Structure 1
Amino acid sequence: MRSTRQPTRRPREVAPTMRRSLAVGEQIPAHHHREHQLVYAAGGLLAITAGAGTWMVPPQRAVWVPAYVEHRHRAWGRTDMRAVLFPVTVRAPFPAPAVIAVSGLLRQLLLALTQPGDRSEAECRRLRQVTLDETRRAPEQPILLPEPRDDRLRAVTRILREQPADPSTLAQLGRRVGASERTLTRLFQAETGMGFRQWRAQLRVHHALVSLAAGHSVTRTAVEAGWSNVSAFIETFTGVTGQTPGRYAASLSGPRPGTDGTAPGTR
């Protein structure tokens, strides 16, 4: 008699790394992974949205996404997305999504692990362990725009997202959405952890990151994002991102040949 037993399915192997080129404006819909991920944009600008809000991930940052956390991606500019995956059995550096500063060492580790090569499995394991150690040591530097839940506050933030240069005061915005300035002030602090001015400044920095990734000039970006002068824009942008708009724009092109963990001519 022919056996009816079905063949035993092997468990899915964990992909150790991932690399994907994203076109301008390309989106990856909401999803989650069964592994932890350390996501890095070697070139371009990546936005990652999860429950708490939207994180911007320029080449000087990486984001830790814990296993099973639903998130989605959007590329601003042509983006070279890299990711190193870790099994859920490792001790996670962060319990929730977190954006960290990328040191020179961590950058080279991420590039080396996500670049095709002939490294042995043992070598890759050692590199991944050092990557995890460096991630634990890295300071958090979030470029986060928290997402409110209250309908009145969402109406205000929607107005500002559509017109980041809108100079309206919170009282003026409140009259447009039917809420008092006092109520909105309380809601901003309670739901975003920021005051109104801080949230709007963060929104304008997000807009500036996208504008510069699109190739716009520093002056045009400053005006469209709502700064009264370029000097004030440069000061705020540098304070949030850790570098001037000009240096940030120069970093978007990605690693130069021979600086991504491989020798020139070995690709």
Structure 2
Amino acid sequence: MPVKPVTHTRPLLSDMAPTPARPVRLIARDLDASELLAAHSHAWGQVTYAMDGVVRVTVASNTWIVPPMRAIWIPPRVVHEVETLEKARLRALYVHADVPLFEGGGCEVLDVSALLRELIVALARVDPGDSREAKLAALIIDEVSRSATLPIRVALPEDKRLKALCEKLIADPASPLTLDDWARQAGASGRTLARLFEKELGMSFSQWRQQVRLAHAAPLISRGLPLSRVAAELGYASQSAFSAMFKKTFGQSPSAFFAHKEVR
């Protein structure tokens, strides 16, 4: 399904820009599936969070699939694009550039705590200028800065043939096609594509595909799907094979990793 640029009315960014006096501002957008917030940047940082639904955030040569129990920190002046993979209640926290949250200039995937979720809900209900706004902002800044960061990132290539292949796999992570199958579609040899994976992404085709499948795992688990069905939808031969790969990446089994998550 083609993505649709977002065209509905929303506040001007200049009206919602954070300031030293109001360091955190919140933008709420309820979006349908396959809507696109085209590539843009701004002078402040942003925590992109979907209370419901799943979004895909793309920055340069990297993309992240972000389910409700996750958010992504985007530093100031970083060009980013947001696409809804399903209907989403998007909540964007604009954070003043002088607020120190994370070292370095890269994006970070955040584990959203129950407290942070409730603080975001509360901030959305506060009238502009209300005395509670400053208190909630301070708590949000503290909670975001304490959030655990997670290694959920899918690198994207520059080569057009390889990028087209990668986009198809992101859209259909369970595809059983081999690298040679994809090569025939791309009009190249399997050996050529294998070299491109190593050169542009620093990993093999199978390693990159595992990253894509794990990126899709959290949204499926957040919907309450049994692990056996998650494994099947992601193209794993068995639940145990999926669980083993998950544990190898995150250090915990899927059941243990999500045991403390409350998805509402």
TM-score by length of 2: 0.72
Match of 1:74 in 2: 83
Alpha carbons 1:19, 1:81 under 8 Å: kept: yes
Amino acid aligned to 1:149: E
Match of 2:212 in 1: 203
| Residue 230 (structure 1) aligned with residue 233 (structure 2) | no
Larger Rg: 1
Q: CA deviation at 1:117?
A: 3.0
Matched pairs, number: 240
Match of 1:140 in 2: 149
Q: CA deviation at 1:168?
A: 4.7
| Residue 24 (structure 1) aligned with residue 33 (structure 2) | yes
Q: Which runs of 5+ in 1 are unaligned?
A: 1-10, 255-267
Q: Alignment RMSD, CA only?
A: 3.6
Q: Which runs of 5+ in 2 are unaligned?
A: 1-13, 19-24
| Local SS of the residue matching 1:77 | coil
| Local SS of the residue matching 1:44 | coil
- How far apart, in 1, do the equivalents of 2:73 and 2:176 lie? 35
Match of 2:50 in 1: 41
Match of 1:4 in 2: none
Match of 1:109 in 2: 119
Amino acid aligned to 1:106: L
Deviations for 1:122-175, whole angstroms, at most 9, x for unmatched residues? Answer: 432232223223222222214221111134533542553465334455466556
What percent identity do the matched residue pairs reach? 33
Amino acid aligned to 2:51: A
Q: CA deviation at 1:48?
A: 0.9
| Local SS of the residue matching 1:20 | strand
| Local SS of the residue matching 1:43 | coil
Amino acid aligned to 1:42: M
| Residue 88 (structure 1) aligned with residue 97 (structure 2) | yes
- How far apart, in 1, do the equivalents of 2:132 and 2:105 lie? 28
| Residue 100 (structure 1) aligned with residue 110 (structure 2) | yes
Deviations for 1:18-52, whole angstroms, at most 9, x for unmatched residues? Answer: 11111122222222223211111111112111113
Distance 1:50 1:232, change over 3 A: same
TM-score by length of 1: 0.71
Larger deviation: 184-193 or 20-29?
184-193
| Local SS of the residue matching 1:74 | strand
- How far apart, in 2, do the equivalents of 1:244 and 1:202 lie? 19
| Local SS of the residue matching 2:144 | helix
| Local SS of the residue matching 1:27 | strand
